[in-house]
Structures are given as structure tokens and as C-alpha cells.
Amino acid sequence: DEIRMIKGCDAVLRVSFPFKHADGSIQVVKGYRAQHSRHRLPVKGGMRFSSTVDLQEIEALAGLMSLKCATVDVPFGGGKGGVRIDPADFSEKELENICRRFTIELAKKNFIGP
């Protein structure tokens, strides 16, 4: 029973939003956020930019973050975010704007904080 309790994520979110490039073209960006374990709040975990990122990878990385935090007794649960883009295709300013927009989408769903 214990293994089953820690195996899956507590919550996952998929988002998509339009992004306007510096040249005026528009691209739909997909993003994911997983909160593996909320037994210790808040959840902790970074964000990954990759053209191959998917929800399963983000869920797995969130689970690993839970284990890392528990191993060293850091008082956080595990989480992870991912945005499906190739960061090499974007300027630093565009990456910042995508990151900000992704964060806004997470905040709209109460998926980020404090």
C-alpha cells in the first residue's frame, strides 16, 4: 500500500498559450506542471525547457524531487514544470516572456506559490 501511495502524482496540469515571436509570428506553447507529493508544502522543483518534454517526464522528475527532498530532510514536497519548446530557437527575452506567461497560467489554477 505504501508504494502505491507514493507512486503517482497528487496533481498535474497541462496548459497551452499563444506566444508572439519578435518577428510577429504566433506559436502555441504547451506546458506541464506536476506536484508529486504535497504531504510537505510547498512543493519544490524547477522548470525544464525542451522540444521533447512531455507530461510523463515531468511526473517522473517531480517524483524524483520528492525523493531528493525526503532523503536530505528538506521540508518540501516534489514538483516539476516543463515547457515544450526548443530554447535554442528563442532569444533570452523571448524565453523570459515564455517563462512569465507559463507562471501566470500556473497561478491562474493555484498551481504555484507561495
- Which residues are catalytic, by number? 80
Q: Cβ distance 82 to 58 under 8 Å?
A: yes
Burial of 16-28, coded b for 16+ CB within 10 Å and e otherwise, reads eeebeeeeeeeee
Query: Which cell numbers in the block locate residue 111?
Result: 498551481
